[in-house]
Structure 1
Protein backbone atom coordinates (compact mmCIF):
# COMPACT_ATOMS: atom_id res chain seq x y z
CA UNK A 1 0.00 0.00 0.00
CA UNK A 2 1.63 3.25 -1.09
CA UNK A 3 -1.06 5.82 -0.48
CA UNK A 4 -3.02 7.28 2.39
CA UNK A 5 -6.36 9.01 1.97
CA UNK A 6 -8.39 10.87 4.57
CA UNK A 7 -11.63 12.87 4.51
CA UNK A 8 -12.92 15.27 7.14
CA UNK A 9 -16.02 17.43 7.57
CA UNK A 10 -16.95 19.72 10.43
CA UNK A 11 -17.72 23.17 11.78
CA UNK A 12 -15.36 23.37 14.74
CA UNK A 13 -14.06 26.36 16.66
CA UNK A 14 -13.55 28.31 13.46
CA UNK A 15 -17.31 28.80 13.30
CA UNK A 16 -17.97 29.99 16.86
CA UNK A 17 -18.64 33.54 15.64
CA UNK A 18 -19.06 33.11 11.89
CA UNK A 19 -21.63 31.02 9.99
CA UNK A 20 -19.16 28.90 8.01
CA UNK A 21 -18.70 25.20 7.41
CA UNK A 22 -15.47 23.46 6.39
CA UNK A 23 -15.17 20.30 4.34
CA UNK A 24 -11.80 18.79 3.50
CA UNK A 25 -10.15 15.87 1.77
CA UNK A 26 -6.53 14.75 1.73
CA UNK A 27 -4.36 12.17 0.02
CA UNK A 28 -0.68 11.26 0.10
CA UNK A 29 1.22 8.86 -2.17
CA UNK A 30 4.86 7.77 -2.36
CA UNK A 31 4.95 8.45 -6.12
CA UNK A 32 6.45 6.40 -8.93
CA UNK A 33 10.12 6.50 -7.90
CA UNK A 34 10.57 6.72 -4.12
CA UNK A 35 10.43 3.56 -2.02
CA UNK A 36 9.27 5.39 1.09
CA UNK A 37 6.65 8.07 1.59
CA UNK A 38 8.22 10.85 3.68
CA UNK A 39 5.16 13.11 3.41
CA UNK A 40 2.42 13.41 6.03
CA UNK A 41 -0.71 15.50 6.45
CA UNK A 42 -3.26 16.59 9.03
CA UNK A 43 -6.98 17.25 8.83
CA UNK A 44 -8.54 18.52 12.04
CA UNK A 45 -11.74 20.32 11.12
CA UNK A 46 -13.03 20.61 14.71
CA UNK A 47 -9.85 22.49 15.68
CA UNK A 48 -9.82 24.50 12.45
CA UNK A 49 -6.42 23.14 11.43
CA UNK A 50 -4.93 21.50 8.32
CA UNK A 51 -1.29 20.84 7.43
CA UNK A 52 1.13 19.07 5.10
CA UNK A 53 4.74 18.14 5.89
CA UNK A 54 7.52 16.88 3.62
CA UNK A 55 10.33 15.04 5.38
CA UNK A 56 14.01 15.36 4.52
CA UNK A 57 17.02 13.31 5.53
CA UNK A 58 16.69 10.03 3.69
CA UNK A 59 15.32 6.64 4.68
CA UNK A 60 13.63 6.64 8.13
CA UNK A 61 14.85 10.16 8.97
CA UNK A 62 12.52 12.04 6.61
CA UNK A 63 9.61 9.79 7.47
CA UNK A 64 10.27 10.31 11.18
CA UNK A 65 10.57 14.10 10.77
CA UNK A 66 7.30 14.65 8.92
CA UNK A 67 5.43 12.30 11.27
CA UNK A 68 6.78 14.14 14.31
CA UNK A 69 5.76 17.55 12.91
CA UNK A 70 2.22 16.35 12.21
CA UNK A 71 2.02 14.62 15.59
CA UNK A 72 2.90 17.88 17.35
CA UNK A 73 0.30 19.81 15.36
CA UNK A 74 -2.35 17.16 16.04
CA UNK A 75 -2.17 18.02 19.75
CA UNK A 76 -3.74 21.42 19.09
CA UNK A 77 -7.39 21.55 20.20
CA UNK A 78 -8.23 24.99 18.80
CA UNK A 79 -8.31 28.54 20.15
CA UNK A 80 -10.57 31.55 20.58
CA UNK A 81 -8.91 33.71 17.91
CA UNK A 82 -6.85 33.34 14.76
CA UNK A 83 -3.93 35.07 16.45
CA UNK A 84 -4.04 32.69 19.42
CA UNK A 85 -4.28 29.66 17.12
CA UNK A 86 -1.34 30.89 15.04
CA UNK A 87 0.68 31.37 18.23
CA UNK A 88 -0.06 27.82 19.33
CA UNK A 89 0.93 26.50 15.89
CA UNK A 90 4.26 28.33 16.10
CA UNK A 91 4.86 26.96 19.59
CA UNK A 92 4.23 23.37 18.50
CA UNK A 93 6.47 23.78 15.45
CA UNK A 94 9.20 25.16 17.70
CA UNK A 95 8.79 22.08 19.88
CA UNK A 96 9.07 19.85 16.83
CA UNK A 97 12.21 21.70 15.80
CA UNK A 98 13.84 21.07 19.17
CA UNK A 99 12.77 17.42 19.16
CA UNK A 100 14.25 16.80 15.72
CA UNK A 101 17.55 18.42 16.65
CA UNK A 102 17.69 16.34 19.82
CA UNK A 103 16.84 13.10 18.00
CA UNK A 104 19.44 13.79 15.33
CA UNK A 105 22.13 14.23 17.99
CA UNK A 106 20.98 11.33 20.16
CA UNK A 107 20.93 8.76 17.37
CA UNK A 108 23.66 10.28 15.17
CA UNK A 109 21.29 10.19 12.22
CA UNK A 110 22.67 13.30 10.58
CA UNK A 111 20.46 16.27 9.87
CA UNK A 112 16.77 15.53 9.49
CA UNK A 113 13.94 17.92 8.96
CA UNK A 114 10.66 18.67 7.24
CA UNK A 115 9.06 21.47 5.32
CA UNK A 116 5.59 22.36 6.55
CA UNK A 117 2.56 24.40 5.55
CA UNK A 118 -0.25 24.94 8.06
CA UNK A 119 -3.63 26.60 7.66
CA UNK A 120 -5.63 27.58 10.74
CA UNK A 121 -9.11 29.12 10.73
CA UNK A 122 -11.08 30.86 13.47
CA UNK A 123 -13.87 33.42 13.70
CA UNK A 124 -14.07 34.05 9.96
CA UNK A 125 -10.34 34.44 9.33
CA UNK A 126 -7.54 32.19 8.13
CA UNK A 127 -3.87 32.15 9.04
CA UNK A 128 -1.10 30.29 7.22
CA UNK A 129 2.27 29.40 8.74
CA UNK A 130 5.05 27.73 6.80
CA UNK A 131 8.72 26.87 6.42
CA UNK A 132 10.22 25.53 3.19
CA UNK A 133 8.56 24.87 -0.16
CA UNK A 134 5.32 23.18 0.83
CA UNK A 135 2.57 25.53 -0.33
CA UNK A 136 -0.91 26.91 0.31
CA UNK A 137 -3.08 28.12 -2.57
CA UNK A 138 -6.41 29.93 -2.43
CA UNK A 139 -9.06 29.50 -5.14
CA UNK A 140 -11.48 32.42 -4.84
CA UNK A 141 -14.09 33.43 -7.42
CA UNK A 142 -12.38 31.35 -10.09
CA UNK A 143 -8.90 32.79 -9.53
CA UNK A 144 -6.07 30.68 -8.11
CA UNK A 145 -3.54 32.54 -5.98
CA UNK A 146 -0.55 31.16 -4.11
CA UNK A 147 -0.57 32.68 -0.64
CA UNK A 148 2.76 31.27 0.49
CA UNK A 149 6.19 32.01 -0.92
CA UNK A 150 8.75 29.20 -1.14
CA UNK A 151 11.78 29.31 1.12
CA UNK A 152 14.08 27.84 -1.51
CA UNK A 153 17.11 28.56 -3.63
CA UNK A 154 15.12 28.74 -6.85
CA UNK A 155 12.61 31.15 -5.30
CA UNK A 156 15.49 33.49 -4.48
CA UNK A 157 16.57 33.26 -8.13
CA UNK A 158 13.00 34.05 -9.25
CA UNK A 159 12.84 37.02 -6.89
CA UNK A 160 16.13 38.27 -8.35
CA UNK A 161 14.72 37.97 -11.87
CA UNK A 162 17.31 35.40 -12.90
CA UNK A 163 14.90 32.58 -13.80
CA UNK A 164 11.17 32.21 -14.53
CA UNK A 165 8.59 30.23 -12.60
CA UNK A 166 8.58 27.58 -15.33
CA UNK A 167 12.38 27.33 -15.33
CA UNK A 168 12.31 26.94 -11.54
CA UNK A 169 10.18 23.79 -11.79
CA UNK A 170 12.91 22.04 -13.78
CA UNK A 171 15.97 23.62 -12.18
CA UNK A 172 18.74 21.22 -11.11
CA UNK A 173 18.75 22.73 -7.59
CA UNK A 174 15.00 22.95 -7.15
CA UNK A 175 15.17 20.61 -4.15
CA UNK A 176 17.27 22.97 -2.01
CA UNK A 177 15.21 24.72 0.69
CA UNK A 178 16.42 27.58 2.87
CA UNK A 179 14.09 26.96 5.83
CA UNK A 180 12.74 23.80 7.44
CA UNK A 181 11.68 22.34 10.77
CA UNK A 182 14.81 20.73 12.23
CA UNK A 183 17.27 22.64 10.06
CA UNK A 184 18.90 24.49 12.95
CA UNK A 185 18.45 25.81 16.49
CA UNK A 186 16.76 28.99 15.26
CA UNK A 187 13.44 28.28 13.57
CA UNK A 188 12.28 30.87 11.04
CA UNK A 189 8.59 30.69 10.20
CA UNK A 190 6.58 32.90 7.89
CA UNK A 191 2.91 33.73 8.33
CA UNK A 192 0.11 35.41 6.47
CA UNK A 193 -3.58 35.85 7.17
CA UNK A 194 -6.82 37.07 5.68
CA UNK A 195 -10.61 37.02 5.85
CA UNK A 196 -12.51 33.94 4.76
CA UNK A 197 -15.28 34.05 2.15
CA UNK A 198 -17.96 31.52 1.40
CA UNK A 199 -16.91 29.55 -1.63
CA UNK A 200 -13.18 29.72 -0.85
CA UNK A 201 -11.14 26.61 -1.58
CA UNK A 202 -7.67 26.16 -0.10
CA UNK A 203 -5.06 23.72 -1.37
CA UNK A 204 -2.16 22.65 0.83
CA UNK A 205 0.45 20.57 -0.98
CA UNK A 206 4.05 19.38 -0.97
CA UNK A 207 6.53 20.11 -3.73
CA UNK A 208 6.04 16.62 -5.15
CA UNK A 209 2.85 18.04 -6.66
CA UNK A 210 3.98 21.54 -7.65
CA UNK A 211 7.23 20.30 -9.24
CA UNK A 212 5.12 18.27 -11.68
CA UNK A 213 1.94 20.32 -12.18
CA UNK A 214 1.80 23.97 -13.23
CA UNK A 215 -0.55 26.44 -11.55
CA UNK A 216 -2.77 26.35 -14.66
CA UNK A 217 -3.00 22.56 -14.44
CA UNK A 218 -3.82 22.78 -10.73
CA UNK A 219 -6.57 25.31 -11.42
CA UNK A 220 -8.07 23.09 -14.10
CA UNK A 221 -8.18 20.12 -11.77
CA UNK A 222 -9.72 21.81 -8.73
CA UNK A 223 -11.98 24.52 -10.16
CA UNK A 224 -15.20 22.51 -10.46
CA UNK A 225 -14.75 19.27 -8.50
CA UNK A 226 -15.79 18.46 -4.96
CA UNK A 227 -12.84 18.07 -2.54
CA UNK A 228 -12.62 14.29 -2.78
CA UNK A 229 -12.65 14.22 -6.58
CA UNK A 230 -10.29 17.20 -6.81
CA UNK A 231 -7.69 15.63 -4.52
CA UNK A 232 -7.94 12.37 -6.42
CA UNK A 233 -7.50 14.25 -9.69
CA UNK A 234 -4.46 16.17 -8.47
CA UNK A 235 -2.63 13.10 -7.22
CA UNK A 236 -3.65 10.92 -10.16
CA UNK A 237 -2.42 13.53 -12.66
CA UNK A 238 0.88 13.84 -10.79
CA UNK A 239 1.29 10.06 -10.84
CA UNK A 240 0.50 9.86 -14.55
CA UNK A 241 3.18 12.52 -15.18
CA UNK A 242 5.85 10.41 -13.49
CA UNK A 243 5.69 11.56 -9.83
CA UNK A 244 9.45 11.43 -9.09
CA UNK A 245 8.78 12.51 -5.49
CA UNK A 246 6.19 11.82 -2.81
CA UNK A 247 3.02 13.80 -3.41
CA UNK A 248 0.49 15.12 -0.90
CA UNK A 249 -2.57 17.34 -1.29
CA UNK A 250 -5.21 18.58 1.14
CA UNK A 251 -8.22 20.60 -0.01
CA UNK A 252 -10.40 22.67 2.32
CA UNK A 253 -13.73 24.10 1.18
CA UNK A 254 -15.48 26.98 2.94
CA UNK A 255 -19.26 27.12 2.72
CA UNK A 256 -22.21 28.71 4.47
CA UNK A 257 -23.37 27.01 7.64
CA UNK A 258 -26.52 24.91 7.40
Structure 2
Protein backbone atom coordinates (compact mmCIF):
# COMPACT_ATOMS: atom_id res chain seq x y z
CA UNK A 1 0.00 0.00 0.00
CA UNK A 2 1.20 3.49 -0.90
CA UNK A 3 0.35 6.52 1.23
CA UNK A 4 0.39 10.20 0.30
CA UNK A 5 -0.55 12.93 2.74
CA UNK A 6 -0.85 16.67 3.19
CA UNK A 7 -2.39 19.30 5.48
CA UNK A 8 -3.37 22.84 4.60
CA UNK A 9 -4.80 25.40 7.00
CA UNK A 10 -5.58 29.12 6.83
CA UNK A 11 -6.85 31.53 9.48
CA UNK A 12 -9.20 32.99 6.86
CA UNK A 13 -10.01 36.57 5.99
CA UNK A 14 -11.65 37.61 9.25
CA UNK A 15 -9.90 35.82 12.10
CA UNK A 16 -6.51 36.84 13.48
CA UNK A 17 -6.02 33.53 15.31
CA UNK A 18 -6.29 30.09 13.72
CA UNK A 19 -8.15 27.94 16.25
CA UNK A 20 -7.94 24.78 14.10
CA UNK A 21 -5.38 22.04 14.79
CA UNK A 22 -4.62 18.91 12.78
CA UNK A 23 -2.30 15.96 12.35
CA UNK A 24 -1.41 13.10 10.02
CA UNK A 25 0.81 10.26 11.18
CA UNK A 26 2.00 7.32 9.07
CA UNK A 27 4.03 4.36 10.34
CA UNK A 28 5.05 0.84 9.37
CA UNK A 29 4.16 -1.92 11.83
CA UNK A 30 5.95 -4.99 10.52
CA UNK A 31 3.57 -7.80 9.58
CA UNK A 32 0.56 -5.59 10.26
CA UNK A 33 1.68 -3.25 7.49
CA UNK A 34 1.11 0.45 7.07
CA UNK A 35 -0.77 2.42 9.74
CA UNK A 36 -2.20 5.91 9.19
CA UNK A 37 -3.83 8.34 11.61
CA UNK A 38 -5.56 11.58 10.58
CA UNK A 39 -7.34 14.14 12.75
CA UNK A 40 -8.76 17.68 12.66
CA UNK A 41 -9.94 19.72 15.65
CA UNK A 42 -11.76 23.05 15.41
CA UNK A 43 -11.50 25.23 18.49
CA UNK A 44 -14.75 26.99 19.26
CA UNK A 45 -14.67 30.30 17.39
CA UNK A 46 -17.05 31.99 19.82
CA UNK A 47 -15.23 30.83 22.94
CA UNK A 48 -12.01 32.09 24.49
CA UNK A 49 -8.81 30.18 23.78
CA UNK A 50 -10.32 27.78 21.26
CA UNK A 51 -6.82 27.25 19.89
CA UNK A 52 -5.71 25.96 23.29
CA UNK A 53 -8.50 23.37 23.33
CA UNK A 54 -7.87 22.13 19.79
CA UNK A 55 -4.10 21.98 20.33
CA UNK A 56 -4.59 20.06 23.58
CA UNK A 57 -6.73 17.49 21.77
CA UNK A 58 -4.30 17.05 18.87
CA UNK A 59 -1.25 16.73 21.11
CA UNK A 60 -3.03 14.12 23.20
CA UNK A 61 -3.88 12.14 20.05
CA UNK A 62 -0.28 12.42 18.86
CA UNK A 63 1.04 11.09 22.18
CA UNK A 64 -1.47 8.24 22.00
CA UNK A 65 -0.25 7.28 18.52
CA UNK A 66 3.37 7.13 19.65
CA UNK A 67 3.00 5.78 23.17
CA UNK A 68 -0.18 3.70 23.56
CA UNK A 69 -0.98 2.35 20.11
CA UNK A 70 2.33 0.44 19.71
CA UNK A 71 1.62 -1.43 22.95
CA UNK A 72 -1.74 -2.62 21.58
CA UNK A 73 -0.50 -3.85 18.20
CA UNK A 74 0.57 -7.16 19.71
CA UNK A 75 -3.02 -7.95 20.71
CA UNK A 76 -4.87 -10.61 18.72
CA UNK A 77 -6.45 -8.96 15.67
CA UNK A 78 -9.95 -10.03 16.72
CA UNK A 79 -9.57 -8.04 19.95
CA UNK A 80 -7.40 -5.17 18.71
CA UNK A 81 -10.19 -2.83 17.62
CA UNK A 82 -12.13 -3.37 20.84
CA UNK A 83 -8.99 -2.40 22.77
CA UNK A 84 -8.51 0.71 20.63
CA UNK A 85 -12.12 1.80 21.15
CA UNK A 86 -11.81 1.42 24.93
CA UNK A 87 -8.57 3.41 24.80
CA UNK A 88 -10.17 6.15 22.68
CA UNK A 89 -13.14 6.57 25.02
CA UNK A 90 -10.80 6.95 27.99
CA UNK A 91 -8.64 9.37 25.99
CA UNK A 92 -11.60 11.59 25.07
CA UNK A 93 -12.84 11.65 28.66
CA UNK A 94 -9.39 12.80 29.76
CA UNK A 95 -9.22 15.52 27.09
CA UNK A 96 -12.68 16.74 28.04
CA UNK A 97 -11.74 16.85 31.74
CA UNK A 98 -8.45 18.66 31.12
CA UNK A 99 -10.03 21.33 28.89
CA UNK A 100 -12.82 21.96 31.42
CA UNK A 101 -10.28 22.19 34.25
CA UNK A 102 -8.18 24.68 32.27
CA UNK A 103 -11.23 26.85 31.62
CA UNK A 104 -12.45 26.69 35.20
CA UNK A 105 -9.10 27.79 36.64
CA UNK A 106 -8.99 30.77 34.27
CA UNK A 107 -12.66 31.68 34.36
CA UNK A 108 -13.16 31.19 30.61
CA UNK A 109 -15.10 28.89 28.30
CA UNK A 110 -13.29 26.90 25.65
CA UNK A 111 -13.99 23.81 23.60
CA UNK A 112 -13.16 21.96 20.41
CA UNK A 113 -14.59 19.58 17.88
CA UNK A 114 -12.63 16.43 17.11
CA UNK A 115 -12.73 14.10 14.13
CA UNK A 116 -10.13 11.36 13.66
CA UNK A 117 -9.58 8.13 11.75
CA UNK A 118 -7.13 5.30 12.30
CA UNK A 119 -6.34 2.93 9.40
CA UNK A 120 -4.61 -0.41 9.83
CA UNK A 121 -4.42 -2.48 6.64
CA UNK A 122 -7.84 -2.27 5.04
CA UNK A 123 -9.70 -1.69 8.30
CA UNK A 124 -10.42 1.63 9.96
CA UNK A 125 -12.11 3.17 12.97
CA UNK A 126 -13.17 6.78 13.33
CA UNK A 127 -14.37 8.98 16.17
CA UNK A 128 -16.22 12.25 15.86
CA UNK A 129 -17.47 14.96 18.21
CA UNK A 130 -19.01 18.15 16.82
CA UNK A 131 -19.20 19.16 13.17
CA UNK A 132 -15.75 18.66 11.69
CA UNK A 133 -16.04 15.98 9.02
CA UNK A 134 -14.39 13.02 7.33
CA UNK A 135 -15.07 12.15 3.69
CA UNK A 136 -14.02 9.08 1.72
CA UNK A 137 -13.18 9.90 -1.90
CA UNK A 138 -12.82 6.86 -4.16
CA UNK A 139 -12.20 6.74 -7.91
CA UNK A 140 -15.98 6.72 -8.40
CA UNK A 141 -17.61 8.91 -5.77
CA UNK A 142 -17.38 10.79 -2.47
CA UNK A 143 -19.12 9.86 0.79
CA UNK A 144 -19.47 11.78 4.06
CA UNK A 145 -18.57 9.23 6.74
CA UNK A 146 -19.07 11.27 9.91
CA UNK A 147 -22.41 12.48 11.27
CA UNK A 148 -22.53 16.09 12.48
CA UNK A 149 -23.43 16.57 16.13
CA UNK A 150 -25.13 19.90 15.52
CA UNK A 151 -28.58 21.42 15.97
CA UNK A 152 -29.01 21.72 12.20
CA UNK A 153 -28.21 18.03 11.65
CA UNK A 154 -30.59 17.06 14.45
CA UNK A 155 -33.39 18.96 12.69
CA UNK A 156 -32.50 17.27 9.40
CA UNK A 157 -32.61 13.86 11.10
CA UNK A 158 -36.06 14.65 12.53
CA UNK A 159 -37.36 15.91 9.18
CA UNK A 160 -37.90 19.45 10.43
CA UNK A 161 -35.71 21.05 7.75
CA UNK A 162 -33.96 19.95 4.57
CA UNK A 163 -30.20 19.98 3.99
CA UNK A 164 -30.57 23.02 1.75
CA UNK A 165 -32.52 24.85 4.45
CA UNK A 166 -29.92 23.85 7.04
CA UNK A 167 -27.16 25.45 4.98
CA UNK A 168 -28.95 28.81 5.28
CA UNK A 169 -29.91 28.41 8.93
CA UNK A 170 -28.21 29.99 11.94
CA UNK A 171 -28.54 26.57 13.57
CA UNK A 172 -25.65 25.37 11.41
CA UNK A 173 -23.27 27.00 13.89
CA UNK A 174 -24.85 25.48 17.01
CA UNK A 175 -23.14 22.32 18.28
CA UNK A 176 -24.88 19.74 20.43
CA UNK A 177 -21.57 18.24 21.59
CA UNK A 178 -17.95 19.29 21.81
CA UNK A 179 -14.95 18.56 24.00
CA UNK A 180 -14.57 20.88 26.95
CA UNK A 181 -18.22 21.73 27.51
CA UNK A 182 -20.59 19.63 29.61
CA UNK A 183 -20.37 15.87 29.12
CA UNK A 184 -19.18 16.31 25.54
CA UNK A 185 -16.91 13.27 25.61
CA UNK A 186 -19.50 10.90 24.08
CA UNK A 187 -18.38 10.47 20.46
CA UNK A 188 -19.66 8.89 17.29
CA UNK A 189 -17.43 5.84 16.84
CA UNK A 190 -17.62 3.74 13.69
CA UNK A 191 -15.63 0.87 12.21
CA UNK A 192 -15.36 -0.25 8.62
CA UNK A 193 -13.22 -1.49 5.77
CA UNK A 194 -11.56 0.43 2.96
CA UNK A 195 -12.10 -1.77 -0.09
CA UNK A 196 -10.34 0.28 -2.77
CA UNK A 197 -7.92 3.16 -3.26
CA UNK A 198 -9.38 6.05 -1.27
CA UNK A 199 -8.52 9.58 -0.24
CA UNK A 200 -9.52 10.24 3.37
CA UNK A 201 -10.37 13.94 3.74
CA UNK A 202 -10.72 15.41 7.25
CA UNK A 203 -11.79 19.04 7.48
CA UNK A 204 -13.21 21.76 9.71
CA UNK A 205 -16.58 23.36 8.98
CA UNK A 206 -14.85 26.39 7.49
CA UNK A 207 -13.94 24.10 4.60
CA UNK A 208 -17.06 22.00 4.01
CA UNK A 209 -19.67 24.72 4.39
CA UNK A 210 -18.76 26.34 1.08
CA UNK A 211 -17.14 23.46 -0.84
CA UNK A 212 -19.45 20.89 -2.46
CA UNK A 213 -18.90 17.15 -2.43
CA UNK A 214 -18.59 17.27 -6.22
CA UNK A 215 -15.72 19.76 -5.89
CA UNK A 216 -14.03 17.57 -3.26
CA UNK A 217 -14.30 14.58 -5.60
CA UNK A 218 -12.89 16.40 -8.61
CA UNK A 219 -9.91 17.74 -6.68
CA UNK A 220 -9.02 14.89 -4.31
CA UNK A 221 -10.07 11.58 -5.89
CA UNK A 222 -7.11 9.11 -5.90
CA UNK A 223 -6.47 9.50 -9.64
CA UNK A 224 -5.85 13.22 -9.10
CA UNK A 225 -3.52 12.66 -6.13
CA UNK A 226 -0.44 11.68 -8.12
CA UNK A 227 1.92 13.16 -5.53
CA UNK A 228 1.57 14.73 -2.09
CA UNK A 229 2.45 18.05 -3.71
CA UNK A 230 -0.48 17.66 -6.13
CA UNK A 231 -2.80 17.03 -3.19
CA UNK A 232 -1.50 20.07 -1.35
CA UNK A 233 -2.00 22.28 -4.40
CA UNK A 234 -5.62 21.11 -4.72
CA UNK A 235 -6.25 21.73 -1.01
CA UNK A 236 -4.87 25.25 -1.39
CA UNK A 237 -7.13 25.89 -4.39
CA UNK A 238 -10.21 24.64 -2.55
CA UNK A 239 -9.35 26.79 0.46
CA UNK A 240 -9.00 29.85 -1.77
CA UNK A 241 -12.39 29.00 -3.33
CA UNK A 242 -13.94 28.88 0.15
CA UNK A 243 -12.53 32.29 1.01
CA UNK A 244 -13.64 33.72 -2.36
CA UNK A 245 -17.14 32.59 -1.40
CA UNK A 246 -16.95 34.77 1.72
CA UNK A 247 -16.20 32.03 4.26
CA UNK A 248 -15.13 33.88 7.42
CA UNK A 249 -14.02 30.99 9.62
CA UNK A 250 -10.66 29.24 9.94
CA UNK A 251 -10.23 26.63 7.22
CA UNK A 252 -8.40 23.31 7.59
CA UNK A 253 -8.26 20.29 5.29
CA UNK A 254 -6.10 17.19 5.79
CA UNK A 255 -5.87 14.59 3.02
CA UNK A 256 -4.58 11.03 3.20
CA UNK A 257 -4.50 9.07 -0.07
CA UNK A 258 -4.37 5.28 0.44
CA UNK A 259 -3.55 3.30 -2.70
CA UNK A 260 -4.14 -0.44 -2.50
TM-score by shorter chain over 0.5: yes
1:87 matched to 2:86? The reply is yes
More strand by share: 1
Aligned to 2:170: 172
Cα offset, 1:243, TM superposition = 2.2
Between the aligned partners of 2:93 and 2:3, the Cα distance in structure 1 is: 27
Name the CA shift for 1:26/1:57 in 2 (closer, same or farther; >3 Å).
closer
Unaligned runs of 5+ residues in structure 1 are 1-19
Are the aligned partners of 1:169 and 1:211 in contact in 2 as well (CA < 8 Å)?
A: yes
Q: CA RMSD in A?
A: 1.8
Deviation sequence 1:140-175 (CA, Å, 0-9, x none): 231111111100000011112222222212212211
> What's the CA shift for 1:57?
5.8
Q: 1:212 to 1:190 in 2, by over 3 A?
A: same
CA–CA distance in structure 2, aligned partners of residues 221 and 165 of structure 1: 23
- TM-score scaled to structure 2, two decimals? 0.84
Residue 238 (str. 1) matches residue 242 (str. 2): yes
Greater alpha carbon shift after TM alignment, 51-60 vs 20-29:
51-60
User: Please, what TM-score do these two structures have when normalized by structure 1?
Assistant: 0.85
Correspondence 1:67 to 2:66: no
Q: State the match for 2:150 in structure 1.
A: 152
Alignment of 1:92-171 (within 5 A): 92-109=91-108, 111-171=109-169
Which has the higher relative contact order, 1 or 2, with Cα contacts under 8 A spaced 6 or more apart?
2
Instruction: Decide whether the 8 Å contact of 1:52 with 1:250 is kept in 2.
Output: yes
How far did residue 89 of structure 1 move? 3.0
For 2:48 and 2:184, the matched residues in 1 are separated by 24
Aligned residues: 236
Long gaps (5+) in structure 2 = 28-34, 74-79, 226-230
Distance 1:58 1:38 in 2: 10
Q: Secondary structure at the match of 1:56?
A: coil
Structure 1 residue 58, shift from structure 2 partner:
4.2
